[in-house]
Amino acid sequence: MADVLTVKLGDRGYPIVFGEDVGREVQARIAQLGRAGKRIAVITDEHVAAKQGAALKAMFGDAPTWTAVPGEQTKTLAELGRILEFLAGEAFGRSDALFAVGGGVIGDLGGFAAASYLRGIDYYQIPTTLLAMVDSSVGGKTGVNLAAGKNLAGAFHQPRGVFVSTSLLKTLPAREFAAGAAEVIKTGLLGDAALFAQLEADPLKPGDPRLPEIIKRCCAIKAGIVESDERELAKEGGRALLNLGHTFGHAIEQATGYSAYLHGEAVAIGLVAAARLSLELDLISADDAARVAAAVKAHGLPVKLKAKLPLPQLMEATARDKKVRAGQRRFVVLQAVGAAAVRAEVDPARVEAGFRAIGAA
C-alpha cells in the first residue's frame, strides 16, 4: 500500500506518494485528469525509455512523449525550446498536464517547461534515480544551465504531485546510485545527525532494505525546509541550507563543462570542500571533517578531483552562484555534524583552502 507525505504549501501543496511500485496511483491520477477533460504529455530520456519501456506504456499508453538525450549537457535553453515547441505542436492547452519521468535533469527540464509554457501548466514528477527521489523532485526548483553557471535560468514551480516507485532503482547503474547517496549524506549533515551516523556505520547499497525509509526521511526533511522558505528568501538558514556542498560542486561542474562528473559526484567532492571550509572557520573539528570525507568515500564517491582544476576559474565560478547576494559570496557551512548555517563575507583564502583540499591548483 502506498504511503503519502504532503508538502504543505497552501493551494500549491501536493502529495509525495511512496511505494515499491506506485504505477497504479499514477494511472489513477491520469484517469482523474482524463475525466476532467485534461490531456497529458510525457518527458523522459533515452535511458529510462529503454529500461522502463513497459512501465511507461502501462502508465501513459500512447500519450505524446518527448525523449531527451540523457545527461547534464541536455539541460540547456536549446533543449527547453525544443520541449516547448513539442508541447505547442501537440496543441497542449493551459489545463493540460506534463509528466516528467527521469532523474534530476528531466525533472528540472520538465518543470521549467511546465512553468514556461502558456505561462504555467501543471506537471507531475516521477523520479527514477535515487538523487531525484531524495532531492530534486521535491520543492519546485526548476531550471537549466547557462555557459556562465549551473541552474542560472529557471523558475519556482511546484509540481502537483510526486510519485516515488523504489522498484525503479533496481535498474539504476551503480555509479548513478552512488551519486544519489551524496544527497542522502548531505541531508544527514545539514539536519539529521542520526541519519549521518547510520550512513557512517552501514553505507547505503543498491537493494538496501532501508531505502524506502531513508528516501521518505530525506523528503520529509526537505519538505519541512521548503515549507518554511519556499523561494529561498530567508536571511538566515532556510532553503539555502539544502545547498550544502553545492557551491563547490557547481563550480566543479561548470569548470569541467558538465561532462567529467555526475551531479552527485560533484556534490560529494563539494561536501568534502565545505567540511574543510568549516574547519578553516573553526566551526567543526578535524575529526568531524575527516568523518565527512570517510562517509563520502565509503559510498564509492570521489573525495578529490580526478584532475587538477585552476583555482582562479573555480573561485570565479563561485562568484556566479545563485546564493550570491549584494555581490557577496555565501557558503553553506557545518556548525556540527547534523547542523548547517549560511555564512557570508567568508575570507577568500579560506575558500581557496577548501578547493585546495580537494586537489585544485
Tell me the catalytic residues.
119, 141, 183, 222, 232, 239, 243, 246, 250, 263
CA–CA separation, 26 vs 269, rounded Å?
Answer: 36
Quote helix, strand, coil % in the chain, to nearest 5: 50, 20, 30
* Residues 73, 48, 34: CA angle, nearest 5 degrees: 110
Dist. CA 104–CA 56, nearest whole Å: 18
CA-based Rg of the chain, rounded to a whole angstrom?
20
CA distance 15 to 42: 19
334, β-bridge pairs: 340
Instruction: Name 155's bridge partners.
Output: 142
Distance CA 39, CA 71 (A): 28
Report how far residue 121's alpha carbon sits from residue 47's, in angstroms, rounded to the nearest whole number: 26
Backbone φ and ψ for 254, nearest 5 degrees, come out as -65, -40
Helix or strand (DSSP H, E) at 9: none
Strand partners of residue 3? 18
For residue 227 the three cell numbers come to 515549507
Q: Could you tell me the three cell numbers for 337?
A: 555534524
- d(CA 113, CA 18) in angstroms, rounded, equals 25
Among 171, 155, 167, which Cα is nearest to 117's? Answer: 155
How many alpha carbons fall within 13 Å on the CB side of residue 332?
29
Q: Which of 175, 151, 159 is nearest to 115 (CA)?
A: 159
Rounded to a whole number, what is the distance in angstroms from the first to the last CA of the chain? Answer: 52
